[in-house]
Amino acid sequence: MPYAAEGRLSHDPIEGGIEITEQQYRQGLNGVLAGEHVQIVGGAFFVGPLPVVEPEPEPEPTPDEIKAQRLEQNNSAYEAATGALTADYPQLEKDTWPTQDAESSAWLLDPLGASTPWIDRAAAVRGLDREEYLRRTLVKARQFVIMSAWLTGRRQGYEDAIKDGGDPVLDYQLPVEVLLELQAVQQTVMAAPTAQLREALA
């Protein structure tokens, strides 16, 4: 006497299975070969496709969860935008930026007497005039301040809106007026006479 259980056929007793006829056994074998499944439905033998079980619907997020998701998306977009500002620089070079900034700032205050040993060496190895290197450093430092301040203010503004229940469209693309300001900084720093540079950047 053949037997059947969920997904199984046998001529030997199956724990938890039921007795079936030889005809049902052959039907079951043919069904399995055709990709169907042996099932016991209400204690009765059945061969057919597995029933499609609809997944449980995801619970609707709470207002607090929605707010948390939007805050996380805002922070992620901000990190991507700010990360792009320094993405082309290796970490070791970024670690030297405070030194470069301090030396270029000292030179801006005292072009004749400032000590700039790090920049002096880097400029010599690179094959650049010392003042050229200092001016380029000033440009990058001033531009970074402008861009990071704009991006940070943008993030904080979005955060305020989200906390107030809003759903702002996140846009961290620098606007035209900021791009023009960056260009003006470069032109001023690179073109102004050394004696007038500090005043020009005030």
119 near 133, Cβ under 8 Å?
yes
Render pLDDT for 149-180 as a digit per residue (tens, 0 to 9).
999 999 999 999 999 999 999 999 999 999 99
Q: Identify the residue with better confidence: 7 or 162.
A: 162
**Percent of the chain surpassing pLDDT 70:** 100
Render pLDDT for 31-86 as a digit per residue (tens, 0 to 9).
788 878 888 887 888 788 877 788 888 899 999 999 999 999 999 999 999 999 99
Cα–Cα distance, 171 to 166 (Å, whole number): 15
Helix, coil or strand: residue 10:
strand
pTM score, two decimals?
0.71
Task: Find the Cα–Cα–Cα–Cα dihedral 112, 118, 124, 126, rounded to 10°.
Answer: -130
pLDDT greater than 90 at residue 103: yes
What secondary structure does DSSP assign to 29-84, as a single string? Answer: HHHHHTT-EEEEETTEEEEEPPPP-PPPPPPPPPHHHHHHHHHHHHHHHHHHHHHH
Cα–Cα distance, 201 to 142 (Å, whole number): 9
